[in-house]
Chains A and B, each alone.
Chain A
Amino acid sequence: MSGKVAISLAVNGETIEALVAPRTTLADFLRQDIQLTGTHTGCEMGVCGACLVLLDDRPVHACLMFAVQADGCAVETIEGLTHRRAIDDLQKEFHERNALQCGFCTPGMLVSAYGILASGDEPDRDGIRDALSGNYCRCTGYESIVDAIETTARQRRQHMEEEKA
């Protein structure tokens, strides 16, 4: 195919230099070129949310952008969020509440949840359901996921209040 393009980006805090085909999506680059298989592809058209990653700390669909577009950016995946323990509380709540079954949507759900809670607000259940409207899960029926995010949000607020006090 047409010539490869040199890119340099930070993935989970590590600098990656790579040559990629211009048509390679960020999702394929993460999964195939650097073997970060925690990012999944479910529809490859930006509907299901399985491929969500953080691009400069904002959730984006890795299937809807090319790897070359991430040149110079900071990308964070489920592996990175786990490693820097940024979502320990979410993962624990998801686990205890059984807010996952097959787990294929879960990395994308957690990236969405990270985004929902990043503002520091405590969304209500309807707000959480709305914010998850781009994450498809076939297994759970969503309620447990809403519960886990709601509980985490409450705990984070309580934690902040305790710290203030």
Chain B
Amino acid sequence: MNAFAGSIDRPNSYIGRSVSRPNAKRLLEGRGRYVTDLVLPRMLHAAFVRSPYAHGKIVSIDIEEAKALSGVRAVFTGEDLASICAPWTGTLEHFSNMKSPPQVPLPLGKVTWSGQPVVLIVADSRAIAEDAAELVIVDIEELPALADPVEAMSAAAMSQELADNICFATKLDSGGVEEAFDAADTTVEQSFVFGRHTAVTLEPRAIVADYDPSENRLTAHHATQTPYQFQDVYSRHYGIPEANVRVIAPDIGGSFGMKLHVYHEEMAVVGASIRLGRPIKYVADRMESFVSDIHARDHRITGRLALDRDGRITAMDVDDLTAIGAFSSYPRTSAVEGNQVIRLMGAPYDFSSYRANLSVVFQNKVQTSQYRAVGHPIACAVTECLVDAAARELGLDPFEIRERNLIPDSSYPRTSPTGYQFEKLSHQVCLARLKSIMNYDALRAEQADQRQKGILRGIGIALFVEITNPSPAFYGVGGARISAQDGAILKLTPSGEVHCSISVTEQGQGTETIIGQIVADQLGIDREKVRVMTGDTDTTPHGGATWACRGAGIGGETALQAARKLKANLLAVAGLILQAQPGELDIRADWIVEAVTGQQRVRLSEVARIAFFRSDTLPPETQAQLSVVHHYAPQGYPFAFTNGAQGCLVEVDAETGFVKILKHWVVEDCGRIINPLLVDEQVRGGVVQGLGAAFFEECLYNEEGQLTNGSLADYLVPMACEMPDIEISHVETPTRDTELGAKGCGEAGTAAASAAAMNAVNDALVGHGAVLTQIPMTPTRILRALGTI
């Protein structure tokens, strides 16, 4: 375990180094190749007619005029595609009693959210397809829309397939909660509302589906994180052998979890390509993205904490009602977020009595599902706001109350009252580091000075625990065909370079870069001699790909073990050439060297030349193995948990309700850091997504279930002028489950940013009788809390 050659000084020691991304250069020159850019011979373009109602019965669809328009090649409605596509249902077996109605590409008789695609037009250009869409007449008899989650709990079932509107419900109870609350010296209770928000990737969803009937072969150029999952989905639901389905994910313009779910449009376009035997392109426009991309969050939570007289937490009690849309998403479901919310509650703190109630309900809105930091920001905000509320009640400083309650760094391994197993976390070190980098005492002094002048500054902190490196416990055990393992193929070229194709994927976070670093590091060759390829099911082994912070931890370990395997093979051949024992040789700076002295013996390129072209000069029976395939599935703990702490400094204008975010700090422990530059930028990007949720982002619906701000002018995203500089510090606690020791860092920033921001705003408003427990904290909500309006 962790027999790790960590010397940063030896040649080619790339693990732990901030190196730039080789594949970023083409993006900087406008040479990126996104699905959006792709043009194929005979390609047609898709546009959809969407439901204007949140709920309704389809009475009739008149497509005649649309079909007759010049340039329109086909028009598809529900039955046209349902007849060739097996329906899908978004449930997982380990969520007992979970239910969801079956789904088909285009609806049969009923629409269940406003924006649902109803008719697919395929034409010579997108513009013509849109013209034709306007000529389709869909007669829908509007039904009452279920838009309120509380109402959904008791209202009649909106889906005829189901008995009620409850998708999933579960309870956790470690015991002792009632007793702890009865015995408590202090209790705090707050109710929280977390609005719906959405991913808003800059490149919208995009697919070019290309079915070739002559070979019964489907090639999908698909902007997704998870090509293998979609290979499986297209194969099973359209009845094409898996080996005949190729999914290619080229450059992706952002994903953040949003592009790994099954969408009706993509399924419909695949079906249309099968029907027509021609490539069909669909790129969502921004308005379509808002009404059809998954949304996330939408939780109403009541939380209670019990504390003893020393300010120690003795129990936590939580009720989460979350609304997910008209069905549960496929194949990862829409219940994972709620499940993670109730299991991550209170995670940093040392108490044993915990109880939670989770209700996941359907409503007539677009589906919600996994988006960056699934559940983390909710659990973190509830926990950390309650802890701050308790601190205010007890007159304790926010650092002090946390210092009293953290799980001691010396007490691992631990199991949380919610059932999570923590291998080793570093809360105490992180909290102390946060206090130091914030220069906390000086900040408090400055805050007091500013208050004298009537300026309301607030300081908020939040601790988090992050789930990374998921094992099959995440999806596999629930029956989902989503892999927890990854695979890599390493090939030596005859010139002595290495080609690596691996199943983890790239969306700009730097996957290919860190894999290249690991391979070069382990092989002892120059980084520029490693070429990494990702995102093509035909050329890479099947694997989990990139989600839930598994790229570095699981993909990285896969690459490390594969590189060690190839190195052993190369040293075996070199040993034959040099008549030396392989164990006495090593590879450094592209040379085969004496392991002890470092003396150069023969260039790796020369070994490659001999092995490929002059095998006749090697001893008889020699079969040099110059490529290796290696798979790695996580072992040991079901998840590699990480942790960290964040701080936020804000200034609230009590007259306008506007908040200026002055500064944000993050201390983060993701285990072994492969590339500090890339980790920092993951954290910064994540923080800003969390701050967006805290202050700006919300999908607003009216009572009829209509999204009322579905454009980029109306839905506010964080822009450069509103965001602060973010200072980051690292603690490294490697996991001992792998040689590499890396855990994930992609959710860390988002996990606690909104919690720290809420605590900062509430800190600023202390003494004004206002406490915000709803995000986004818009100026209106702040003024309402202040009683101004």
**Chain B CB within 8 A of A78 CB:** yes
Q: Which of chain A's residues 108-165 have a Cβ closer than 8 Å to chain B? A: 110, 125, 128-130, 132-146
Q: Which of chain A's residues 57-114 have a Cβ closer than 8 Å to chain B? A: 77-79, 82, 91, 94-96, 98, 100-107, 110
Shortest distance from the beta carbon of B135 to any chain A beta carbon, whole Å:
14
Shortest distance from the beta carbon of B486 to any chain A beta carbon, whole Å:
21
Task: Name B's interface SS.
Answer: loop
In the complex, the answer to whether A45 meets B711 with C-beta atoms within 8 Å is yes
In the complex, the answer to whether B677 meets A40 with C-beta atoms within 8 Å is no
Do A103 and B24 form a contact, CB below 8 Å, given A129-B720, A136-B202?
A: yes
Shortest distance from the beta carbon of A137 to any chain B beta carbon, whole Å:
7
Nearest A residue to B682 via CB reads A101
Nearest B residue to A46 via CB reads B713
Residue among A41, A101, A125, A136 making CB contact with B508, cutoff 8 Å: A101
Do A95 and B254 form a contact, CB below 8 Å, given A44-B286, A129-B721, A140-B684?
A: no
Shortest distance from the beta carbon of B184 to any chain A beta carbon, whole Å:
40
In the complex, the answer to whether B202 meets A138 with C-beta atoms within 8 Å is yes
Shortest distance from the beta carbon of A15 to any chain B beta carbon, whole Å:
20
How many angstroms between the C-alpha atoms of A1 and B507 in the bound complex? 38
In the complex, the answer to whether B684 meets A138 with C-beta atoms within 8 Å is no
In the complex, the answer to whether A100 meets B203 with C-beta atoms within 8 Å is no
**Chain A CB within 8 A of B37 CB:** yes
Q: Cβ of B711: which chain A residues have Cβ within 8 Å of it?
A: 43, 45
In the complex, the answer to whether A133 meets B30 with C-beta atoms within 8 Å is no
In the complex, the answer to whether B28 meets A94 with C-beta atoms within 8 Å is yes
Do A101 and B719 form a contact, CB below 8 Å, given A38-B29, A137-B202?
A: no
Shortest distance from the beta carbon of B444 to any chain A beta carbon, whole Å:
25
Nearest B residue to A146 via CB reads B720
Do A139 and B36 form a contact, CB below 8 Å, given A77-B30, A101-B508?
A: no
Q: Cβ of B32: which chain A residues have Cβ within 8 Å of it?
A: 37-38, 103-104
Shortest distance from the beta carbon of A153 to any chain B beta carbon, whole Å:
15
**Chain B CB within 8 A of A48 CB:** yes
In the complex, the answer to whether B712 meets A48 with C-beta atoms within 8 Å is yes
In the complex, the answer to whether B27 meets A142 with C-beta atoms within 8 Å is no
Do A100 and B202 form a contact, CB below 8 Å, given A77-B30, A91-B28, A132-B721?
A: no
Q: Cβ of B505: which chain A residues have Cβ within 8 Å of it?
A: none
Nearest B residue to A94 via CB reads B28
In the complex, the answer to whether B684 meets A141 with C-beta atoms within 8 Å is yes
**Chain B CB within 8 A of A10 CB:** no
Give per-residue flags for B503-519: 1 if the beta carbon is below 8 A from chain A beta carbons, else 0.
Answer: 00001111000000000
Give per-residue flags for A29-43: 1 if the beta carbon is below 8 A from chain B beta carbons, else 0.
Answer: 001000111111111
In the complex, the answer to whether A138 meets B30 with C-beta atoms within 8 Å is no
Q: Cβ of A42: which chain B residues have Cβ within 8 Å of it?
A: 202-204, 286, 712
Sorting the interface of chain B by its residue count into under 10, 10 to 19, 20 to 34 or 35 or more gives: 35 or more
Q: Cβ of B509: which chain A residues have Cβ within 8 Å of it?
A: 101
Do A78 and B720 form a contact, CB below 8 Å, given A43-B286, A139-B508?
A: no
In the complex, the answer to whether A82 meets B34 with C-beta atoms within 8 Å is no
Shortest distance from the beta carbon of A154 to any chain B beta carbon, whole Å:
17
In the complex, the answer to whether B28 meets A103 with C-beta atoms within 8 Å is yes
How many angstroms between the C-alpha atoms of A37 and B29 in the bound complex? 11
**Chain B CB within 8 A of A26 CB:** no
How many angstroms between the C-alpha atoms of A136 and B127 in the bound complex? 26
Do A37 and B30 form a contact, CB below 8 Å, given A48-B202, A141-B687?
A: yes
In the complex, the answer to whether B723 meets A141 with C-beta atoms within 8 Å is yes
Residue among A43, A95, A137 making CB contact with B28, cutoff 8 Å: A95
Do A142 and B720 form a contact, CB below 8 Å, given A40-B253, A95-B25, A103-B508?
A: yes
Chain A interface residue count, CB cutoff 8 Å, equals 55
Residue among B20, B127, B131 making CB contact with A96, cutoff 8 Å: B20
Residue among B127, B128, B254, B720 making CB contact with A133, cutoff 8 Å: B720
Give per-residue flags for B123-154: 1 if the beta carbon is below 8 A from chain A beta carbons, else 0.
Answer: 00001100100000000000000000000000
How many angstroms between the C-alpha atoms of A1 and B128 in the bound complex? 9
**Chain A CB within 8 A of B276 CB:** no
How many angstroms between the C-alpha atoms of A21 and B128 in the bound complex? 12
Identify which of A95, A101, A132, A144 gathers the most chain B CB atoms within 10 Å of its CB.
Answer: A101
In the complex, the answer to whether B28 meets A39 with C-beta atoms within 8 Å is no
In the complex, the answer to whether A104 meets B34 with C-beta atoms within 8 Å is yes
Do A98 and B202 form a contact, CB below 8 Å, given A47-B712, A103-B253, A146-B720?
A: no
Residue among A50, A98, A145 making CB contact with B720, cutoff 8 Å: A145
**Chain B CB within 8 A of A23 CB:** yes
Q: Cβ of A143: which chain B residues have Cβ within 8 Å of it?
A: 684, 723, 725-726
Shortest distance from the beta carbon of A155 to any chain B beta carbon, whole Å:
17
Shortest distance from the beta carbon of B343 to any chain A beta carbon, whole Å:
27
Do A110 and B28 form a contact, CB below 8 Å, given A129-B720, A140-B685, A141-B687?
A: yes
Residue among A50, A102, A140 making CB contact with B252, cutoff 8 Å: A102
How many angstroms between the C-alpha atoms of A35 and B33 in the bound complex? 12
Q: Cβ of A1: which chain B residues have Cβ within 8 Å of it?
A: 127-128, 131
Q: Which of chain B's residues 651-670 have a Cβ closer than 8 Å to chain A? A: none
How many angstroms between the C-alpha atoms of A143 and B682 in the bound complex? 12
Nearest B residue to A136 via CB reads B717
In the complex, the answer to whether A45 meets B681 with C-beta atoms within 8 Å is no
In the complex, the answer to whether B254 meets A144 with C-beta atoms within 8 Å is no
**Chain A CB within 8 A of B285 CB:** yes
Shortest distance from the beta carbon of A29 to any chain B beta carbon, whole Å:
12
Q: Cβ of A101: which chain B residues have Cβ within 8 Å of it?
A: 254, 507-510, 681, 685
8 contacts between A and B (CB under 8 A): A95-B20, A98-B510, A103-B27, A129-B723, A137-B720, A140-B688, A141-B723, A142-B723
19 additional A-B pairs beyond A102-B507, A139-B681, beta carbons within 8 Å, are A21-B127, A39-B30, A42-B286, A45-B712, A91-B25, A95-B24, A95-B25, A101-B507, A101-B510, A101-B681, A102-B27, A102-B508, A104-B203, A129-B721, A132-B721, A136-B717, A139-B685, A142-B688, A145-B720
**Closest A-B pairs by Cβ, 6 of them:** A38-B30, A103-B27, A101-B508, A104-B253, A78-B30, A102-B508
Give the B-binding residues of A (Cβ under 8 A). Answer: 1, 21, 23, 31, 35-45, 47-48, 50, 77-79, 82, 91, 94-96, 98, 100-107, 110, 125, 128-130, 132-146
